[in-house]
Amino acid sequence: MRTAARSILRVSLLLCAACGDDEPSREELAQACEDLADALVASAERCVIDPQGVRDHFLQSVANGDCDNIVELRDHDQFYDECIPFVQEIRCDRLLAGDYDSSCSQQLVSWDLPEPTP
């Protein structure tokens, strides 16, 4: 009896720990991706760079072509407090070179899609 009670207590504690988890929803992850894409497009327009080309390149290289493919945001606060503002104010030469602040590095994680077969 005592062993069963301990097992139930352990399971309850694990479930409660999971309930407190603040993992973002798939919609929130896709929105984070869209927020970064929008910041990049705005900077591209300011720098007179093809905004659609910048958006397409971003989506292909970071999100496998679609923000719905994002499955993780590494650090929400750093992403919104440092990365997005950096991209909004990025110098045009840095935008062209793809030279982003470290706060943007590997923030968005997408599904690994298999390579197309020939």
The full set of domain ranges for the chain reads 24-110
- Is residue 91 pLDDT above 50, yes or no? yes
Instruction: Specify the pLDDT at position 116.
Output: 53
Instruction: Specify the pLDDT at position 63.
Output: 94
Q: Can you give the three-state secondary structure of the chain, one letter per residue?
A: CHHHHHHHHHHHHHHHHHHCCCCCCHHHHHHHHHHHHHHHHHHHHHCCCCHHHHHHHHHHHHHCCCHHHEEEECCHHHHHHHHHHHHHHCCHHHHHHCCCCHHHCCCEEECCCCCCCC
Structure tokens at 109: 């994680």
35-66 per-position pLDDT tens digit? 999 999 999 999 999 999 999 999 999 999 99
Instruction: Specify the pLDDT at position 23.
Output: 85
pLDDT band at residue 7 under the 50/70/90 scheme: very low
Q: Cβ atoms within 10 A of the Cβ of 27, count?
A: 9
Distance from C-alpha of 65 to C-alpha of 6, rounded to nearest angstrom: 48
Determine contact, residues 94/48, Cβ cutoff 8 Å.
no
- Is residue 88 pLDDT above 80, yes or no? yes
pTM above 0.85, yes or no: no
Distance from C-alpha of 65 to C-alpha of 110, rounded to nearest angstrom: 10
The mean of the pLDDT values for the chain is: 82
Determine contact, residues 81/75, Cβ cutoff 8 Å.
no
